[in-house]
Amino acid sequence: MAADLAKQPKGEHMPPSPKLLAVSYVRVSTREQTERDGDPDGYSIPAQRDANRRKAESLGAHIIEEFIDRGESARSSDRPELQRMLAYVTDHPIAYCIVHKVDRLARNRADDVAINLALNTADVRLISATENIDETPSGMLLHGIMSSIAEFYSRNLANEVMKGMQQKAKTGGTPGKAPIGYRNAGIISAEGREVRTVIVDDQRADLIRWAFTAYATGEWTLRQLTKELAERGLMSRPTPSRPGKLITVTQLQKILSNPYYKGEVRFSGASFPGRHVPLVDPVIWQQVQDIMDSHVVGEKVRQNHHYLKSSLYCSCGSRMLVQYSVNRLGTQYEYFICSGRHEKRNTCIQSAVNIGLIENKVVDLYKTIQIDKDLRAEVERQLRAALDASSRDTRKKQHDLLLEQGRLQARSQKLLEGHLDGAVPAALYKEEQERISRQLSHIAENLESATVTFATIEQHLVEALDLIENCFEAYRRAPDDIRRRFNQAFFEQIIVHQDSEVTVELAEPFNSLSKSATRILGAEIQENRSGTSLERQIMGVDSTLCSRDEHLVPLEGLEPPTCSLGRNCSSIELQRLAFRSLA
């Protein structure tokens, strides 16, 4: 009956006491407050509802409609149930709007005035179930005071929460929700207290690690990587109100840009060392940033794939692309074309080159790279001697790097203290911290190479020489995916010239090995002119380019980097692939 009366618009037939109809407004600030002990209403909502009902009974009023905002902040009036209530009281003969406290309705003066104006216009009186507010001057004064106190409480609480979150970040904690790959969890301390912390999400962490290492190779676009992660089953964490979803390209870009994964917590423009377990090595993380920064004009999904594409360049310096042409009979032809000419970025006149022709020429290149046992033995002997002589320089380099690392870390700490004290502006702090972070990442990478033992370096020297001694047959028999990794390891660039001839720029350590072999060969030619057959093995590299100081292989060329960490695979990884091809 009361509900039917309430539906009648103003001006129509009214019951004898229309001012005895009321609405109740209930609000809780967080979703957690609405879900306690399995009850979707939690504890707070029933308590507010009962208080409002008792207040209505004391006024002789009947609540005909209840409006509940679950998990909504009072700092904004843009709440769905509040707006629905204001529209409801405008269209129905309501006498009272009952709230538990004034702060349930609004926590800033501007919204409080606007809401009260809307209620007054509808001839509705605001009633607090727990505060003595009426329309007398003293009641209105109390209302104003309580509203101002509510606004102060809200702003002060936000400020205190911000300070607490900043302190948590400063000590390495994670303010807020952990990113995908991690989980917020509670653990019981030795004193029996629950401590909130962040742990690795075993279900998703490996996929996040793989995403970083894959993108660091430079062989994936964001769209390709997003699709691959979807096929591997990576989904966002489900919540009570939202199921898990596939990761989008935009979300993946944010993941790959997030320094949290390398162990760094950023909050309010400042960076802090985190207490959580890093999923990604800082060197890999920086490689990912460098690759994303290089894509300043966006990414283009490459539709035509070929194992030579990542290594093949035109003599003008542009990459070679794959193009398929179909004649009138439907026969398909495959060509490599110059991207510079195709996109009209230069005046290159390189014509299209048959893919099969280039594939065969690259196979022949490996025959010229391969060295015989005698030359290999002499190269190994001289390089071992050079490595022994360089160990002292390496130890000095390590000492200098550690000093520079300490200086930069002290500088970073001083900047942080200045920023927290307000002496260093946020923009300047962010710029300087990013610069220091890049330098520290570079130093960490160099330290890693400098701390590799010379026994390890000698081991990988032997592995590289084993590989170059058997590379032709291994490459000739290898499938396309292994050929691609061979080319990336052996060559910085494979260059196609206008006459369809192919030359290369060797990558380390094979460039240094080739120079060492050429230098040794040059000495042999001077002593014995019978060395001509060996000379043809060394890629035509001029022995005059190799001084006596150039024969030493750079340390990073002989270290064992993981195949996915960069452009060049490690020698030991390629050896496994080579043996698989020869099997």
401 occurs within a structural domain: no
Here the CATH number for the domain that contains residue 32 is 3.40.50.1390
71 occurs within a structural domain: yes
pTM: 0.42
Domain range for 200 is 182-294
Question: Which residue type is seen at 485?
Answer: R
What's the token pair of residue 385? 């001697």
In Å, how far are 123, 256, 280, 520 from 264, measured between CA atoms? 56, 13, 11, 49
pLDDT at 87: 92
Q: Which of 35, 25, 23 is nearest to 61 (CA)?
A: 23
Return phi, psi of residue 404, to 5°: -65, -35
Question: Could you say which of 257, 275, 294 is where a domain stops?
Answer: 294
In Å, how far are 209, 226, 309, 326 from 332, measured between CA atoms? 40, 31, 19, 4
Q: Do 6 and 133 have their domain in common?
A: yes
Q: Do 96 and 130 have their domain in common?
A: yes
548 occurs within a structural domain: no
Catalogue the E-assigned strands of 385-501.
491-496
pLDDT tens string for the chain (583 positions)? 344 444 444 444 444 444 589 999 998 765 554 444 444 444 578 888 999 999 999 989 999 999 988 766 545 557 788 889 999 999 998 999 999 887 767 756 667 777 887 888 888 988 888 887 666 666 666 666 666 666 666 666 666 667 767 777 777 788 878 889 998 888 776 777 777 788 899 899 999 999 999 888 877 888 999 999 999 999 988 877 788 889 899 999 999 999 999 988 887 777 788 888 899 988 889 888 877 876 653 434 345 678 887 789 999 988 888 887 777 777 778 888 898 888 888 889 888 899 999 999 999 888 887 777 777 777 777 777 777 777 777 777 888 888 998 999 888 888 888 888 888 888 888 888 888 888 888 888 787 766 656 667 777 777 777 777 778 888 888 888 788 888 887 888 899 998 889 988 888 777 777 676 666 655 554 444 443 333 444 333 333 223 334 444 444 444 444 333 334 455 545 555 554 444 4
3-state helix, strand, coil in the chain (%, to 5): 55, 15, 30
For residue 526, give the 3-state DSSP assignment.
Answer: helix
- Contact between residue 26 and residue 67 where contact means Cβ atoms under 8 Å apart: yes
Q: Do 143 and 194 have their domain in common?
A: no
In Å, how far are 283, 343, 407 from 439, measured between CA atoms? 11, 36, 11
166 occurs within a structural domain: no
544 occurs within a structural domain: no
Cα 259 from Cα 536, distance rounded (Å): 50
Q: Do 143 and 186 have their domain in common?
A: no
Q: Do 284 and 198 have their domain in common?
A: yes
Q: Do 71 and 126 have their domain in common?
A: yes
Question: Could you say which of 273, 294, 315 is where a domain stops?
Answer: 294
Q: Any bridge partners for residue 21, and if so which?
A: 62
Question: Could you say which of 243, 263, 294 is where a domain stops?
Answer: 294
- The total number of structural domains that make up the chain: 2
450 occurs within a structural domain: no
Those residues whose C-beta lies under 8 Å from the C-beta of residue 62, and which sit 6 or more positions away, are: 2, 20, 21, 22, 56
What's the token pair of residue 516? 């060492």
Q: Do 137 and 186 have their domain in common?
A: no
Q: Do 102 and 217 have their domain in common?
A: no
Q: Do 24 and 155 have their domain in common?
A: yes
**DSSP letters along 193-215, please?**
-EEEEEEE-TTTHHHHHHHHHHH
In Å, how far are 256, 264, 338, 391, 428 from 267, measured between CA atoms? 17, 10, 46, 43, 15
- Contact between residue 31 and residue 71 where contact means Cβ atoms under 8 Å apart: yes
Cα 42 from Cα 40, distance rounded (Å): 6
128 occurs within a structural domain: yes
Q: Do 40 and 77 have their domain in common?
A: yes
Q: Do 104 and 250 have their domain in common?
A: no
578 occurs within a structural domain: no
Q: Do 76 and 217 have their domain in common?
A: no
pLDDT at 452: 58
Here the CATH number for the domain that contains residue 275 is 3.90.1750.20
- Contact between residue 509 and residue 461 where contact means Cβ atoms under 8 Å apart: yes
pLDDT at 300: 43
